[in-house]
Amino acid sequence: GAGVSQSPSNKVTEKGKDVELRCDPISGHTALYWYRQSLGQGLEFLIYFQGNSAPDKSGLPSDRFSAERTGGSVSTLTIQRTQQEDSAVYLCASSTRIRSEAFFGQGTRLTVV
């Protein structure tokens, strides 16, 4: 597609349920990032992929969070046993290795009730 696509755009889930967030990067972009932005806060780095491997997972807040990327393209971020503090906008970005200008998706707004 023309830009980074994230789905769903909004997700309301009950506390304790698992959720999957999807990111479809720009075709050919090797780098993919997940960030979290809580209300009124800055960007919190979660994980970074280069191709299918994740050289930096340091930002994942707990072992309830995991992410994978297959075929060097689509990535899913999974949050197990969601908690209210997981409520935030989850942003995905992709970039080429060469100049690394990152293009962001519109984000998934997750609300845990």
Partner 1 sequence: GEDVEQSLFLSVREGDSSVINCTYTDSSSTYLYWYKQEPGAGLQLLTYIFSNMDMKQDQRLTVLLNKKDKHLSLRIADTQTGDSAIYFCAESRGEDYKLSFGAGTTVTVRA
The residues of the shown chain that bind partner 1, judged by CB under 8 A, are 31, 33, 35, 41-43, 45, 48, 50, 55-56, 91, 93, 95, 97-107
Residue 80 in tokens: 């197990």
Considering the complex, state which of residue 73 and residue 95 has its C-beta at the smaller distance from partner 1.
95
Beta bridge partner(s), residue 32: 49, 94
Q: DSSP secondary structure string, 34-76?
A: EEEE-TT---EEEEEEETTEEEE-TT--STTEEEEE-TTS-EE
Do residues 24 and 4 make contact, with C-beta atoms less than 8 angstroms apart? yes
Please state the closest distance from residue 82 (CB atom) to partner 1, in A: 22
Please state the closest distance from residue 70 (CB atom) to partner 1, in A: 19
Q: What counts of helices (H) and strands (E) characterise the chain? A: 0, 11
The one-letter amino acid at 22: R
Considering the complex, state which of residue 73 and residue 90 has its C-beta at the smaller distance from partner 1.
90
Please state the closest distance from residue 81 (CB atom) to partner 1, in A: 26
Please state the closest distance from residue 16 (CB atom) to partner 1, in A: 28
Considering the complex, state which of residue 5 and residue 80 has its C-beta at the smaller distance from partner 1.
5
